Amino acid sequence: MAYRAPVSEITFLLEHVLGGTRLGETSLFADATLDTAAAILDEAAKLAEGEIAPLNRIGDQQGAKLENGMVRCTPGFREAYHALATGGWVGMNGPEAYGGMGMPMALTVAVNEMMSSACLSLALNPLMTQGQIEALEHHASDALKDIYLEKLVSGQWTGTMNLTEPQAGSDVGALTTKAEDNGDGSYRITGQKIFISWGDHDVAENIVHLVLARLPGAPAGTKGISLFAVPKFIPDAAGNPGAANSLRAVSLEHKMGLHGSPTCVMAFEGATGWMVGAENGGMAAMFTMMNNARLGVGIQGLSQAEAAYQQALEYAHERRQGRPPVEGFSTIIGHADVRRNLLTMKALTQSARAICLDCAISLDLARANGDEAQAARAAFLTPIAKTFGTDVGCEVAALGVQVHGGMGYIEETGAAQFYRDVRVTAIYEGTNGIQAMDMVGRKLKDGGTAARALLDEIRATAATGGPHPRLSAAVEHLERATAWMLDAGLNDRFAGAVPYLRAFALTLGGHYLLRAAQADGARMPLAAFHIRQLMAQVGPLCEAACEGAAPLYADPLAV
């Protein structure tokens, strides 16, 4: 089934639910009016539907290969990547001083959703570059910016993020890759990184690796990590790719999905790199990239939910099986249980999209107006966007397989590919469990101000009337759970972090869907379904969130 980019859905959300017009009212994003946004999204949709989507299946079947020390990508990826780069889509929110379009994050994530729905493996490449552009923009010296930013923004060169080592995954502070000062402003980087997305490829002329490493005598843990830009080919005096650096892709991981994305084991063998940011300040710089990537990965989850929903809906309209008990239906779309699955998929997908776009708008407003409250709002929404977006991706893709019946388990339909491809999004960029811990740990350090401000917004929506008092009840449940979290010890909070985040996300979903329904009455049945059915879990989730850690240690879980 052909993917159709949901342009009108996104523009509706921006205009009627999320207050997207506020962006065009700032001087920074004065060009980003709703009309311009719609025109940009239409252009992106043409590329996503026409050139990128046809590669999704090919990427799955003919994944990246390592041949004679070189990674060869899926046939067609090179040309499609070129179309993405020359269209300006890689650098759409990159700095204008380096050739970027300076577009708001809200539009960038909307475009990224479409490109990722079309082909997640390929769209992961520009996502990494976009994160790197932001990290260099904020933390690199002017000299480094001048060498790298224009090439990255134009998509001529691509970026990677090198954190993970065999013994250092979630615990980045355990990494051992070494950096030694060459005494000429450069450093010698030695170590092995694993699971590096797009670590090597043949779709662009150079690759810039951002590598976390440790200087001799650096403090233990995350306080002793520095960040280095390590190019595959060292730029010559004219800024073009010059001598090959001492680094290579040693092997490619054999993965459950995302076959088109080369996931590399990288060896840095005394490679030359340049420090980004301060000595031992690597985590701060990397956090810029990771925060960008967290929202980006939430969007990846959403993108697969949207694609899986579209395909399942079309299948349900075509497949005849059994006689639906309701007049006027001849295919499985008439069966109540199939409708429940599809409504769940639709409501979760729309909720996740609203959360991600709202987070992006807050980031944009914080940047445009120097608004601290919007920055705190974005920081609180980021782990929700990452976790809920990717959980929804996994759940909706699984329901998509279910709606297809046995054909969902057969690769030809493509339903299984969404399920396989999306699974990693709940793992990488900080596992979802760790995101939830970030929410109840770091993101409540403000004494609950950002959480309560959001709850006030939801309360205001609930007060305007709706299909069920459950939305206001959910706010009260979350108020109590938030108060409990603020009093509890850290491990007790961590024990309840996942149900707390889920309850918050489902309630935010109800708030957005109800606002959408207030703007367009035809959307009321979906809002009612979400609030009555899916939000039935909110109260019990909040209770579970406040149980504390002791019950989790009561069973010995003996091997």
CB of 82 to ligand FAD, least distance (A): 22
- Taking the C-alpha atoms of residue 344 and residue 341, their distance in angstroms, rounded to an integer, is 5
- The correct pick among 64, 71, 85, 161 for binding ligand FAD (CB under 6 A) is 161
Q: Dihedral of CA 323/328/330/333: which sign?
A: negative
Residue nearest to ligand FAD (CB): 169
CB of 48 to ligand FAD, least distance (A): 22
- Taking the C-alpha atoms of residue 386 and residue 359, their distance in angstroms, rounded to an integer, is 10
Binding mask 238-257 for ligand FAD (x = CB under 6 A): -----------------x--
Given the rule CB under 6 A, which of 107-115, 331-339, 343-351, 430-438 is the region that contacts ligand FAD?
Answer: 430-438
CB of 212 to ligand FAD, least distance (A): 8
Is residue 398 near ligand FAD by the rule CB under 6 A? no
DSSP-based three-state secondary structure for 370:
coil
Is residue 293 near ligand FAD by the rule CB under 6 A? no
Residue pair 38/540 in contact by the 8 Å Cβ criterion: no
Give the pair of three-digit tokens for residue 500. 């707390």
- By beta-carbon proximity to ligand FAD, the closer residue of 156 and 431 is 431
- By beta-carbon proximity to ligand FAD, the closer residue of 389 and 467 is 389
Is residue 390 near ligand FAD by the rule CB under 6 A? no
Distance of CA 184 to the CA centre of its chain: 38
Is residue 156 near ligand FAD by the rule CB under 6 A? no
Q: Which residue has the tokens 């024990």?
A: 495
> 274: phi > 0 → left, psi -120 to 50 → alpha, else beta; which?
beta
Is residue 169 near ligand FAD by the rule CB under 6 A? yes
Is residue 297 near ligand FAD by the rule CB under 6 A? no
- Write the CB contacts of 94 (distance below 8 Å, at least 6 apart in sequence): 100, 101, 102, 130, 133, 137, 149, 152, 153
Given the rule CB under 6 A, which of 162-170, 216-224, 281-289, 326-334 is the region that contacts ligand FAD?
Answer: 162-170
Is residue 158 near ligand FAD by the rule CB under 6 A? no
- By beta-carbon proximity to ligand FAD, the closer residue of 91 and 262 is 262
Residue pair 174/251 in contact by the 8 Å Cβ criterion: no
Task: Give all strands (DSSP E) within 215-368, no chain letters.
Answer: 226-231, 233-235, 241-244, 247-252, 263-276
Is residue 195 near ligand FAD by the rule CB under 6 A? yes
- Taking the C-alpha atoms of residue 192 and residue 266, their distance in angstroms, rounded to an integer, is 6
**Does 543 participate in catalysis according to the annotation?**
no
Is residue 196 near ligand FAD by the rule CB under 6 A? yes
- The correct pick among 8, 170, 182, 491 for binding ligand FAD (CB under 6 A) is 170
- Taking the C-alpha atoms of residue 226 and residue 283, their distance in angstroms, rounded to an integer, is 7
* Beta-sheet pairing, 187-197 with 241-244: unpaired
Tell me the number of residues near ligand FAD by CB under 6 A. 18
Is residue 197 near ligand FAD by the rule CB under 6 A? yes
Residue pair 206/232 in contact by the 8 Å Cβ criterion: yes
CB of 467 to ligand FAD, least distance (A): 36
Is residue 45 near ligand FAD by the rule CB under 6 A? no
The CA-atom distances, in angstroms, between 166 and each of 47, 170, 232, 264 are 38, 11, 22, 13
Is residue 424 near ligand FAD by the rule CB under 6 A? yes
Binding mask 260-279 for ligand FAD (x = CB under 6 A): ---x----------------
Is residue 56 near ligand FAD by the rule CB under 6 A? no
CB of 441 to ligand FAD, least distance (A): 10
List 137, 269, 429, 479, catalytic entry: 429
CB of 308 to ligand FAD, least distance (A): 19
Is residue 413 near ligand FAD by the rule CB under 6 A? no
CA angle 354, 5, 199 (to 5 degrees): 85
- By beta-carbon proximity to ligand FAD, the closer residue of 161 and 384 is 161
Residue pair 455/481 in contact by the 8 Å Cβ criterion: no
Is residue 431 near ligand FAD by the rule CB under 6 A? yes
DSSP 323-339: --SSTT--SGGGSHHHH
- By beta-carbon proximity to ligand FAD, the closer residue of 426 and 513 is 426
- By beta-carbon proximity to ligand FAD, the closer residue of 45 and 258 is 258
- The correct pick among 313, 427, 536, 552 for binding ligand FAD (CB under 6 A) is 427
Is residue 428 near ligand FAD by the rule CB under 6 A? yes
Q: Which residue has the tokens 């969130």?
A: 545
Distance of CA 506 to the CA centre of its chain: 18
Is residue 54 near ligand FAD by the rule CB under 6 A? no
- By beta-carbon proximity to ligand FAD, the closer residue of 364 and 391 is 391
Is residue 163 near ligand FAD by the rule CB under 6 A? yes
Number of neighbouring beta carbons within 10 Å of residue 515? 22
Given the rule CB under 6 A, which of 32-40, 161-169, 274-282, 408-416 is the region that contacts ligand FAD?
Answer: 161-169
Number of neighbouring beta carbons within 10 Å of residue 467? 18
Is residue 154 near ligand FAD by the rule CB under 6 A? no
- By beta-carbon proximity to ligand FAD, the closer residue of 107 and 439 is 439
Give the pair of three-digit tokens for residue 34. 């709703």
Is residue 433 near ligand FAD by the rule CB under 6 A? yes
Distance of CA 156 to the CA centre of its chain: 23
DSSP 180-207: EE-SSS-EEEEEEEEEEETSS-SSSSEE
Q: Which residue has the tokens 């990693």?
A: 424
- By beta-carbon proximity to ligand FAD, the closer residue of 263 and 288 is 263
Catalytic residues: 429
Binding residues (CB under 6 A) for ligand FAD: these are 161-164, 169-170, 195-197, 255, 258, 263, 424, 427-428, 431, 433-434
